[in-house]
Amino acid sequence: VVRVEGVAGASLYAVEVKVDDAVDDFKRLVAGLADGPSSSNEGIGIGDFADVFDAVPPGVDELVALSKVVSLARADSYGLHFDRVIIDTAPTGHTLRLLTFPDFLDRFIDRLLVLQRRFQGAASLVGGVSSLLGGMFNKGAASGGGGGDVEEPQAVAKLAAFQQQMRELQELLHNPEVSEFCVVTIPTALAIAESERLLLALREQGIV
């Protein structure tokens, strides 16, 4: 977060989300599943996790941007208090996907916790996800690269905390007293049609 100079009468800060490291970490996490235990005593294999990761939609950049919304909207984040947080979102399709991520992460973590209970010794997997999400959400992530550094109860508690954070974000997005969505377009038929589609989708989600 850097201060923008030359703005009279106000303090303006800007942040540019850099996603390369987050994407690489996510790929390493998924690839690392193959190194874990292939089965448990009940015959449940790594294939049980496949549908979870197959369900991850493209757009990790939107996920990282969403984490910034969470951290910046929090009081006194980065040692600063922001009166207003403005997100310059991507085009319509990406924006709609961004707005669905809180619900997606809620369900995603639910599935991880269910599978964690079915696997014996799955702390390294859950800990790895917790460390990755912790880095994204700036919320007490374990230092270091290995998911195995996180005790299983601690990993489960962190994932549950992230899940609660996503539910709070859902409430924030749907609360007109604290959130406002401004659609910006250009005067062309295609752009106006896209903007109308966006507004319709936002109304269906109860955001505007």
Backbone angles phi, psi at 71, to 5 degrees: -70, -40
Length of the chain: 208
Question: In the Cβ-directed half-sphere of 63, how many Cα atoms lie within 13 Å?
Answer: 23
CB 134 within 8 A of CB 140: yes
d(CA 83, CA 81): 7
What pLDDT, on the 0 to 100 scale, is given for residue 111? Answer: 79
- Residue 101: both structure tokens together: 């991520």
What pLDDT, on the 0 to 100 scale, is given for residue 46? Answer: 44
Contacts of 156 (CB under 8 A, 6+ apart): 113, 116, 126
What pLDDT, on the 0 to 100 scale, is given for residue 23? Answer: 56
Paired with 21 in beta bridges are: none
Please give the model's pTM, rounded to 2 decimal places: 0.57
Lookup result for tokens 């390294």 = 124
10 Å Cβ neighbour count for 198?
A: 21
CB 51 within 8 A of CB 45: no
**What does each of the 208 residues of the chain score in pLDDT, given as a tens digit?**
788 888 887 788 887 766 666 556 555 554 544 444 444 444 444 445 545 555 455 555 566 566 666 677 776 666 778 888 887 776 776 677 767 777 777 787 787 777 766 665 555 566 666 666 666 555 444 444 444 444 556 666 767 776 777 787 778 778 888 888 888 899 999 999 988 988 898 888 777 7
- 3 state DSSP class of 65: helix
d(CA 126, CA 122): 6
What pLDDT, on the 0 to 100 scale, is given for residue 101? Answer: 72
CB 57 within 8 A of CB 97: yes
Nearest Cα neighbor of 108 from 159, 149, 64, 59 is 159
